[in-house]
């Protein structure tokens, strides 16, 4: 079977010597817009392309406001601060995620708490979240506190894993019952929809990433999505070193961050976004090829969940055993095909190994058996 899979991938990417997991596609106005920024000399965090990119992403996702940042991690950091996360607080998230999710929580001086995912979506399980909150928390003065640590639980961060939407409406419903803000990690899911609504627009605040391996890229970049004009203004203020607007003097009214996206990166994003429909169509076609290939095997292809439209950012499969998954990774490496294992569970990393968890039954069962496949648009 492994030889057949090599033949399949080589037929999809016939010109590649080494086939990477994901490579950006530049087929539009990227060079034109980059030259325009250079000619304008506005290559840093001030420029028309920054404003244009923010407007375009807001329109595409149907968010009321979008604030561009230098990367997805900084977007999440600011989103957590806007949600009210403070030193010593706790933030509930999932163990199956990229480390940036937990890093952003730590930047706030907070501590992650992990609840399980569900198999169908690979995202946070709303029932597991409710069970954890029912059994481990109490409400005092309209805030939710952990019975074990005594710390305030100040945010919930679900993640749309590999671009597949989680049951975000149910997560928001549970969070609302406990008065906890939801910061939606939609870093991987630009172009994904749940019940007809774009991911990142269900929670109080959402974030996107435009890293080099995402559906569209700005080289490095992120975006904060929010419907509150007040929060949008705060986000822009915080990410621009908290410089007082219209002040000729260098007046800063709080500790801010140098997190604004440079104009030259935004120019790349504007060009990329013009071709996103084509890219999403190609990624869906690739996912269907993979689905058909694995349909008669004991290897499960991760399809889009119910009531969802996935962007199929990174196509992945679940092997029956960890040994089979590792064997597959090794054999693909010998054939110069870039597959990869899933991220390590966050609660197994030394920084987070003492964090509170629920049983994590599904996460523990699945994580070591998941392998991601080449998912570039160029086919």
What is the C-alpha separation between 59 and 72, in angstroms, rounded?
A: 19
Indicate left, alpha or beta for 323 from its phi (over 0: left) and psi (-120 to 50: alpha): alpha
Q: Does the structural domain 30-274 have CATH classification 3.40.640.10?
A: yes
363 Cβ partners below 8 Å, 6+ apart?
94, 95, 96, 114, 116, 117, 345
The whole-number pLDDT of residue 249 equals 83
Other residues' Cβ atoms within 10 Å of the Cβ of residue 170: 16
Are residues 189 and 214 in contact, defined by beta-carbon separation less than 8 angstroms?
A: no
Indicate left, alpha or beta for 166 from its phi (over 0: left) and psi (-120 to 50: alpha): beta
The whole-number pLDDT of residue 247 equals 63
The whole-number pLDDT of residue 46 equals 87
Q: Would you write out the chain's pLDDT as a tens digit for each of its 379 residues?
A: 789 999 999 999 998 899 999 999 999 999 999 999 999 999 998 899 999 999 999 999 999 999 999 999 999 999 999 999 999 999 999 999 999 999 999 999 999 999 999 999 999 999 999 999 999 999 999 999 999 999 999 999 999 999 999 999 999 999 999 999 999 999 999 999 999 999 999 999 999 999 999 999 999 999 999 999 999 999 999 999 999 887 678 889 999 999 999 999 999 999 999 999 999 999 999 999 999 999 999 999 999 999 999 999 999 999 999 999 999 999 999 999 999 999 999 999 999 999 999 999 999 999 999 999 999 997 5
Q: What is the CATH number of domain 2-26+276-346+356-372?
A: 3.90.1150.10
* Residue range(s) in the chain whose domain bears CATH number 3.90.1150.10: 2-26+276-346+356-372
12 Cβ partners below 8 Å, 6+ apart?
286, 289, 374, 379
| Residue 38 C-alpha from the chain's centroid | 30
* Type and span of the H or E element at 65: strand 65-69
What is the C-alpha separation between 266 and 264, in angstroms, rounded?
A: 5
| Residue 346 C-alpha from the chain's centroid | 15
The whole-number pLDDT of residue 15 equals 84
The whole-number pLDDT of residue 267 equals 98
The whole-number pLDDT of residue 2 equals 84
* Residue range(s) in the chain whose domain bears CATH number 3.40.640.10: 30-274
Q: Encoding tokens for residue 170?
A: 């149910």
* Type and span of the H or E element at 300: strand 300-301
What is the C-alpha separation between 207 and 127, in angstroms, rounded?
A: 24
């Amino acid at each position: 079977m492994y030889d057949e899979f090599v033949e399949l991938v080589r037929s999809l990417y016939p010109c590649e010597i080494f086939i990477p997991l994901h490579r950006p596609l530049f087929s539009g106005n990227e060079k034109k817009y980059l030259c325009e920024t250079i000619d304008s000399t506005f290559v840093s965090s001030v420029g028309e392309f920054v404003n244009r990119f923010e407007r375009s992403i807001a329109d595409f996702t149907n968010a009321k406001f979008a604030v561009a940042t230098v990367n997805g991690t900084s977007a999440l950091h600011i989103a957590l601060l806007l949600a009210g996360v403070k030193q010593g607080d706790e933030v509930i998230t999932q163990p199956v995620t990229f480390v940036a999710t937990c890093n952003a929580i730590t930047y706030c001086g907070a501590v992650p708490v992990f609840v399980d995912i569900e198999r169908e979506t690979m995202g946070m399980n709303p029932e597991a979240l409710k069970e954890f909150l029912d059994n481990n928390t109490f409400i005092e003065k309209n805030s939710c506190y952990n019975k074990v640590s005594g710390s305030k639980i100040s945010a919930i961060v679900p993640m749309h894993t590999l671009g597949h939407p989680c049951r975000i409406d149910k997560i928001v419903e549970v969070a609302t019952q406990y008065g906890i803000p939801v910061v939606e990690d939609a870093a991987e899911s630009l172009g994904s929809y749940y019940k007809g609504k774009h991911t990142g627009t269900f929670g109080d605040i959402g974030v996107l990433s435009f890293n080099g391996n995402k559906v569209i890229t700005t080289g490095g970049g992120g975006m904060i999505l929010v419907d509150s004009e007040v929060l949008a203004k705060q986000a822009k203020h915080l990410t621009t070193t908290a410089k007082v607007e219209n002040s000729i003097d260098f007046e800063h009214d709080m500790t801010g961050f140098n997190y604004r996206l440079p104009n030259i990166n935004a120019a790349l994003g504007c060009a990329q976004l013009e071709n996103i429909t084509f890219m999403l169509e190609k990624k869906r076609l690739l996912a269907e090829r993979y689905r058909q290939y694995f349909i008669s095997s004991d290897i499960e292809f991760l399809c889009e969940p119910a009531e969802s439209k996935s962007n199929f950012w990174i196509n992945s499969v679940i092997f029956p055993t960890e040994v089979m998954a590792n064997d597959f990774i090794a054999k693909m490496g010998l054939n110069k095909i870039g597959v990869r294992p899933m991220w390590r569970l966050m609660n197994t990393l030394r920084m987070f190994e003492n964090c509170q968890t629920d049983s994590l039954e599904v996460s523990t069962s699945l994580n070591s058996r998941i392998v991601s496949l080449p998912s570039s648009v160029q086919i």
